[in-house]
Every structure is written in structure tokens, then in C-alpha cells.
Amino acid sequence: MARKFFVGGNFKMNGTISSIKEIVNNLNNANLDPSIEVVIAPPSLYLLLVRENLRPEIEVAAQNVFDKPNGAFTGEISVTQLKDSKINWTILGHSERRTILKESDAVVSQKTKFATDNGVSVIWCCGESLEEREAGRTIEVVSSQLEALKAENPDWSKIVIAYEPIWAIGTGKVATTEQAQEVHKAIRDWLKGVSDKVADETRILYGGSVSEKNCGELSKQPDIDGFLVGGASLKPAFVDIINCKKQ
Ligand code: PEP
């Protein structure tokens, strides 16, 4: 099955009403390759603003969601609230949440299970630190993050995997096409242990300093099915990344 190329934009904790409206207007007026699936993730405060103003074929994602239906969980947002606001996606397990907010593999997996079981699709992030890469542990680390997810038996048809080496995020230091393809292939091989169908159909995105300059080459790799873009998703050049297959 041909996997639909996917480009996600993670705004992280950036933007104001005015700058986010500008990004939305830019996307609304852009000539976007219709064969690409695009999802953008503004900070939670601006989810509704974006959903109400963005062209409907672009989906909107939260950057996090909790794993309880509702109740006394101060500061959290529920899957029900996302769906009520027509936010059909969330990012989970971003390395900034794993490292700074100390979210464990188990917590990320439980949130992913709850979201997918309740109708919200997940951009599920994984990746190794520089220390782990240098110790030759990249595949081991990513596999153990995947094992924790598999243990929860999530709905894989609602998951897009984003491989994001931590050392490449926000550093301007992009993985080489060979480094990225090697890990993407290993993830696809690992997915065969879930099922051939899941391995064949799951999109595996690369994330880490993707720009309009490096996206063309990366997009040609057989196991790279798209990108999760941080810094560059705040810039007009995000449109060039979405249209990278035309380069
Ligand atoms: C990210 O935060 O998911 C990311 C990949 O960031 P950047 O593109 O800025 O490296």
C-alpha cells in the first residue's frame, strides 16, 4: 500500500495570536501539494483559533493530551475536549516532554493508547540522545520505546511514528539521509513484529532540523514517509517543506 506522505508542524511553546494568524494565512493562501497530508500543532491556547481559521483539509494537533476522560486533573486537556473542538490529532512522547517533563515510556504509551482508543490520532515520537547514539545504542533505545507502546496494544492505524534523534532537534544538525533511513528501516522491521500490515501502512516521519534545503533528499528515502518540523514550521519556508516531493 502506498503510504501518504505526511508533514507535521510542531510550533512548541512559540507564537502569539498575531504571529499564529500570519502562519495560518500563509498556509491558507499557499499552493500546497494536494497529495500531502498536513497537520499543524500550535500551543493549546491557540488550538481553537487555528482550527476556526485554517483551511479545512489541514488538520490540527495538540502537543499533548491526558489519559483520563475528564475530572480533577489541573492543567491537563482531555481527548473529549480535543474532539469537541475538532482537533483530531495530538503529538505524544516528544523528547522535550520525555526529558524536561520526565514523561516515562509507560506514561507516553498509556496516553497513546487512550487517545487512539478514543478517536484521536497520534504523532508518536521516539529517538535517542547523542550519548546513546555514540554508544551504538540507537536501535536498542528506539526499540524499547516501541516495546512499551506495543505493550499497551494501541490502535496502530491511528499512529504516525516520528523518529527524532534528540541531538538533531533544534540544533541545525540534521541526521544524514543514511543515518535517518537506517533507523527508519529498523523501525519498519520492528513493526513487522506487530504485523506485516502495520509495518506496511504506518508512516514513519523524520524530525530534527528539517528545512527547505534538506527535505528533498530525505524525502527520497524509501522508509521516510514525511517529516515532523519544529522551528521551520513557524516560517514561510514550511510551505516548501510541504511541497518537497515536487523539488
Ligand atoms: C521537533 O520539535 O519536533 C523538531 C523536529 O524540531 P526542529 O525541526 O526545530 O529540530
For residue range 23-32, what is the model confidence (pLDDT) as tens digits?
999 999 999 9
94 has catalytic annotation? yes
Round to whole Å and give the CA distance between 116 and 107. 14
| pLDDT tens digits, one per residue of 157-190 | 999 999 999 999 999 888 999 999 999 999 999 9
Q: Is 159 in the pocket of ligand 1 (CB under 6 A)?
A: no
Q: What pLDDT, on a 0 to 100 scale, did the predictor assign at position 179?
A: 96
* Cα(30) to centroid(ligand 1), Å: 22
Q: How many A from CA of 41 to the centre of ligand 1?
A: 12
* Cell 513557524, residue located: 234
pLDDT at 195 over 90: yes
Q: Is the pLDDT of residue 1 over 80?
A: no
Pairing, β 121-126 against β 226-229? unpaired
Distances (CA, A) of 71 to 35, 63, 78, 165: 40, 20, 9, 35
Segment 191-200 shows an average pLDDT of 98
**79-106: average pLDDT:** 98
**How many whole angstroms separate alpha carbon 89 and alpha carbon 67?**
14
Q: How far is the CA of 117 from the centre of ligand 1 (A)?
A: 27
Owner of C-alpha cell 500570519: 22
Phi, psi of 202 (to 5 degrees): -75, 130
- Is 180 touching ligand 1 by the criterion CB < 6 Å? no
User: What average pLDDT does the chain have?
Assistant: 97
Give the integer Cα–Cα distance in Å for 74 and 95: 23
Atom of ligand 1 nearest to the CA of 162: 3
Q: What is the pLDDT of residue 246?
A: 78
pLDDT surpassing 90 at residue 210: yes
Q: What is the pLDDT of residue 247?
A: 60
C-alpha cell at 230: 519544529
Q: What is the pLDDT of residues 31-69, one digit of tens each?
A: 999 999 999 999 999 999 999 999 999 999 999 999 999
pLDDT above 70 (res 240): yes
Pick the catalytic residue: 37, 96, 103, 164?
164
pTM of the model: 0.97
